[in-house]
Amino acid sequence: MTAFSRVASAFEPFGKPEDVGFKSSLLNDIVFAIPKIKEPLKAIIDAIDLQKAREGSLMELWRDEEKYPTLDDCKFVRCISSIGPD
């Protein structure tokens, strides 16, 4: 995610895809879209603990669990499923 964020920050927004300047409309569309992911990525990066993500600690990934109350349900289900049948 941090790599995508760096790439998104490297490009200033363009008015329209044609303003990018490539001969290829596909490349113009791609580069035109890249700056638009900057803010959504920032929101995700701010919401998670990147170190926990690197460690694979999915149960401790989110910084503010109260903002995402469904996480407690997911943790409960995961805990129960790890116990298994008697």
* Residue that wins the pLDDT comparison between 25 and 67: 25
Cβ distance 65 to 71 under 8 Å? Answer: yes
Per residue in 19-42, pLDDT (tens digit) is 999 999 999 999 999 999 999 999
The domain spans of the chain are 2-83
Tell me what pLDDT residue 78 has.
56
- The CA-atom distances, in angstroms, between 52 and each of 46, 56, 68 are 13, 6, 17
Give the span between the Cα atoms of 23 and 27, in whole angstroms: 8
Question: Against a cut of 0.85, is the pTM above it?
Answer: no
Burial 37-64 (b: 16+ CB within 10 A, else e): ebeebeeeeeeeeeeebeeeeeeebbee
